[in-house]
Amino acid sequence: MENVLITGTTSGIGKAFAEKFASMGNNIILVSRDMQKLKQQQLYLQNQYHVTVNLIAYDLTKEDAADLIMEQIGNWNIPIDFLVNNAGFNECGLFSQTDISKEIKMIDLHIRFITQLTKRILSIMEKNNYGHILNIGSTGSFIPSPSDAVYSATKAYIMSFSNALYGEYRNTRIKITLLCPGATETEFARKANIEQTLLFKYAVMKPDKVVKIAYPKIIKGKRFIIPGIYNKLLVFFSKIMPIDITNKLTMIMMNSH
Ligand SMILES: NC(=O)c1ccc[n+]([C@@H]2O[C@H](COP(=O)([O-])OP(=O)(O)OC[C@H]3O[C@@H](n4cnc5c(N)ncnc54)[C@H](OP(=O)(O)O)[C@@H]3O)[C@@H](O)[C@H]2O)c1
């Protein structure tokens, strides 16, 4: 039994991970903004799996979010064995037309917050000489995306950050894994108003399936995971195709049909 801290658990991939980790008998700390949804999730997981579930409701784009989480887990005296950096969102569209305040919040959440929290949690893991961090990237981590420029750039940061940490900890008992899902049927596309794009019309995976594929690989300590053959092919071809072609194809995928 481990203590698992997961960000962004009230829907989608984070919710599916919370259920998976709880079903394996782990105690969970759920972190998201919506306290009402968190309480419902806590009741469900505790009743269903008889594990301890603690809650932190906070906006992780706030500057003091990592401090607040560390203070809370310190007060509870819970040593974190597993961190899932999952919370995220998208502000999509041509860069000249997107909302810069949302993009800055995205950079705050996907880059600044993850960096701060990971550093603080790693210091606990180093003391215990044990731990695992799972970072949620995206197929967009590999593909600079016209019509989604800032999102894909933040996910490229997460990939680079995660792979570099993997190198730093590879001969220790601390594991670092990067999971790069493609289009997944969660609240993500609806919130970003991209449900009608080609990307979200075909080969969309259910979050439970993402977790089902990824979980055994995560536990083995794999460096990175791309769930599903379609997503693997997407990444493969994006690596071998000239940028002009991937740019054009990405524009088509991000357009509404
Ligand atoms: N869905 C996809 O197609 C897809 C593809 C590749 C990668 N991903 C990545 O997968 C991760 C999970 O996304 P999802 O698809 O599961 O989306 P989702 O259903 O919208 O879930 C996002 C979760 O993050 C939380 N969250 C968002 N902003 C937050 C903030 N400022 N502070 C605290 N919590 C916040 C939300 O909770 P509250 O709103 O209750 O706070 C929610 O629980 C993200 O990192 C996303 O980039 C998704």
Q: Model confidence over 119-146: pLDDT tens digits?
A: 999 999 999 999 999 999 999 999 999 9
Ligand 1 centroid from CA 188, angstroms: 6
Residue 208: both structure tokens together: 């439970």
Res. 257 pLDDT band, cuts 50 70 90: low
DSSP element (H, E) containing 51: none
Mean pLDDT of 133-162: 97
138 lines ligand 1 (CB under 6 A): yes
Per annotation, catalytic residue among 49, 58, 151, 169? 151
Mean pLDDT of 150-161: 98
pLDDT tens readout for residues 69-103? 999 999 999 999 999 999 999 999 999 999 999 99
240 burial level (CB within 10 Å; 0-12, 13-18, 19+) = exposed
Please give the Cα distance from 233 to 148 (Å, whole number): 20
Read off the amino acid at residue 172. Answer: T
Could you tell me where the DSSP H helices lie in 91-206? Answer: 100-107, 114-128, 149-169, 188-191
- Which of 33, 178, 198, 201, when mutated, tests ligand 1's pocket best, judged by the most ligand atoms within 8 Å of its CB? 33
The yes-or-no verdict on residue 29 having pLDDT over 60 is yes
- Which of 29, 42, 152, 188, when mutated, tests ligand 1's pocket best, judged by the most ligand atoms within 8 Å of its CB? 188
Residue 38: both structure tokens together: 């968190």
Read off the amino acid at residue 85. Answer: N
For domain 3-253, give the CATH superfamily: NAD(P)-binding Rossmann-like Domain (3.40.50.720)
E-strand ranges in the chain read: 3-7, 27-32, 53-57, 82-85, 131-136, 174-179, 224-225
Mean pLDDT score of the chain? 96
pLDDT of residue 255: 79
77 burial level (CB within 10 Å; 0-12, 13-18, 19+) = exposed
- DSSP letter at 205 equals B
136 lines ligand 1 (CB under 6 A): yes
Ligand 1 centroid from CA 151, angstroms: 12
8 lines ligand 1 (CB under 6 A): yes
183 lines ligand 1 (CB under 6 A): yes
Domain range annotation of the chain: 3-253
pTM of the predicted protein model:
0.97
12 lines ligand 1 (CB under 6 A): yes
| Percent above pLDDT 70 for the chain | 99
pLDDT tens readout for residues 194-209? 999 989 988 899 999 9
pLDDT of residue 10: 98
Note if 151 is an active site residue. yes
Please give the Cα distance from 183 to 78 (Å, whole number): 34
pLDDT tens readout for residues 218-254? 999 999 999 999 999 999 999 999 999 999 999 888 8
Please give the Cα distance from 167 to 240 (Å, whole number): 25
